Structure formats: C-alpha cells, structure tokens
Amino acid sequence: MTAWKHLSLTVLLCLLGLPSALLAEPASLPGVPASPPAVSAQSAYPIREAALGPAMPRSPGHLSALPFFRPDPDSGLDRSKEDSRELDKDDEEITVMEETVVEGMFEDPFATESEPVRDPWEPFNSRTFALNYNLDRYMLKPAARVYSGLVPSDVQNSLGNAFDNLGFASRFLNSVFQGKFGRAGIEMQRFLLNSTLGVGGLFDVATHMFGIEVPPAEDTGQTLASYGIDSGPYLVLPFFYQPMTVRDAVGYAGDIFMNPVNYFIPFIPNLGLNATDLFNNRASNLETFQGLEESTIDLYGAVRSGYMDRRAQEIQE
C-alpha cells in the first residue's frame, strides 16, 4: 500500500509539472547559442486599439511608450547585461492602466485623483444621455441654426454678456463663501460697470475699457466641494443641457435660489429668458460640438471624462 501511495504521488507530480514543461521555452541545443528573449509592449486596451487602429490619439501624460534601448558602444559593459538592466528599470516605470467594473464602481483611467468617476447608474445615465443627445440633434440644434441665421453674431455676443451679467449674484456669493474675497471684489466691479456703462450688461466695458478680466466662475457645487462634500455618483438628468454629479445637482438648485432674477421676473417671462439663453449659447457653440461629435466614437464616455476633468480643474482654481 505504501508503494502504491509513492507511485500515485509520483504520477501526480509529473502531471502537475507537465503544463509548466509545455509552456516553458525550449532549451538550447548544445553548441547552439540561445536567442535573446523578445521584448514586446502589450497595450492596456487591446480591444479598443484594434477597433480604432493607429488613429487613436495618445496622451503623453497617461500613456508611457517603451523607449529605444541603445547602450553606449564605448562602454565596457556586456551589451546583453546592459539591455537587461535597462529593461528591468524601464519595466518599473511603465504605467499600466486598467478599466474595471467592480460592484457597480466604474474606474475611469483618465479621471483625476480629486474627482474620480463613479458611474453606478450608467445604464440609466447612458439612456438619458441618448435621449438628450437626440433632442439636441433633431430639435435644439436645427433651431439653433435658424436662430444663428436670424440673429447676427454681434447681437449673440451682447446677449451672452447680458445673461452672464444676470448670474452675478451666485458667482459673487459663492466667491465669498469660499473665502475668495479678491475674486468677489472683481465680480462686484464688473457687475457695477457693465450694468451701468455697459447698458445692463450688453457690453463688457469692464474688460474692454477698464481691463478687468473675467475671473473663473464660482458656483454652489464648487463651494460644496471646498467644504469637503463628496461629489457623489455621476448623473445625467433628462432635458438638462449638461451632465453633473449629485453634488453639482444640489449646487445647481442652490444657484437658482441665489439668482434674484427668479424672484422678480414672473415664471413665463423667466422661462422665455432661459430659453433664449439656451438657444444663444447653443448657437455660439455649433462648430465646437460638431467637431466633438464627428471625432469621438464613445461620445458618452468622452463627455463624462471631459466633464469630470473640467470640474476638478474648476474646483482647484
């Protein structure tokens, strides 16, 4: 019985070692020099690379390419040993990006550390994004083209200045809430100058006559972020022009409450005012969005990553 156990153990060890023997590199024959191992770089996105081909752009900030290994010919070191050392060193510097979905958590490799992309509601968000995109494509965009043909560009710019001037209160208060008093002072100066000399904000005299440039805009979402409020999951709401996070959705409601125009103008005229602002903004960005649509395969992912990156920069400013 003991001999049978020894025989069984021997057979089992042989079977376990068989796959390793099959996968191992063949041994060199006596007298034949062994060929050096081939070095290859495997893409972090093989499926995406195959689909897009060489046209896919690569960002040097996110992707690392294997350098050319050119040892100094004058050095006395053995070439194969030097290559091996450089390979080991560069292998440690190569950044490997992964895109995984674990328990509803989407990790975007292009997201920043301060604003990671969390998209547990992606099925709902993607369908809502498709709805908003089709509404923009078949309704808002054609209407914006007609609007752009009827309204001269100078008038569009003046209307844009006026709408920007009406949003002064939210930007001013959020600058104060974040302790950016210098920025709040600039907002106040610009509002007073443009509201008086600029005929209700139609003309940006603060910039062109006094050299007071437009500061980065502050909103309630950024204020909540400055107080350590987490961004929450990514969110796309029906009929909303831009995506947001849960924190930015709460901040959007806060911006509405901070705008005194909503308290002094009746609902119907205010609705028409907002619609005009929407058409004017869309008409001013016809070519920009057209280029994005034509050059992007995954439009949902591009908009999501772009929005999160932009919000992270705005919060850090």
Q: Could you report the per-residue pLDDT of 37-56, keeping only the tens digit for each?
A: 433 333 333 333 333 333 33
Counting every residue written for the chain, the total comes to 317
Domain total in the chain? 1
Residue 160 CB neighbours (<10 A): 18
pLDDT at 116: 65
The answer to whether position 154 is within a domain reads yes
pLDDT over 90, % of the chain: 48
Q: Which pLDDT band holds residue 279 (cuts at 50, 70, 90)?
A: confident
Kind of pairing between the strands at 234-235 and 244-245: antiparallel
Flag the least confident range among 92-101, 143-152, 211-220.
92-101
Q: Which pLDDT band holds residue 294 (cuts at 50, 70, 90)?
A: confident
The answer to whether position 262 is within a domain reads yes
Average of pLDDT values for 6-32? 43
Q: Which two tokens stand for residue 316?
A: 């850090």
The answer to whether position 295 is within a domain reads yes
pLDDT by residue (tens digit) across 263-278? 888 888 888 888 899 8
How buried is residue 89: exposed, middle or buried, by Cβ count under 10 Å (0-12/13-18/19+)? exposed
Domain that holds residue 185: 122-316
The answer to whether position 26 is within a domain reads no
User: 134 pLDDT exceeds 50?
Assistant: yes
The answer to whether position 246 is within a domain reads yes
Q: In this structure, what DSSP letter does residue 68 have?
A: P
pLDDT over 70, % of the chain: 62
| Side chain identity at residue 150, one-letter code | L
Q: Which two tokens stand for residue 161?
A: 């200045």
pLDDT at 114: 46
The answer to whether position 308 is within a domain reads yes
Comparing 176 with 4, the larger pLDDT belongs to 176
Q: Which pLDDT band holds residue 291 (cuts at 50, 70, 90)?
A: low
The answer to whether position 51 is within a domain reads no
Q: Which pLDDT band holds residue 296 (cuts at 50, 70, 90)?
A: confident
pLDDT at 225: 96
The answer to whether position 311 is within a domain reads yes
DSSP strands (E only) in the chain = 101-102, 105-106, 234-235, 244-245
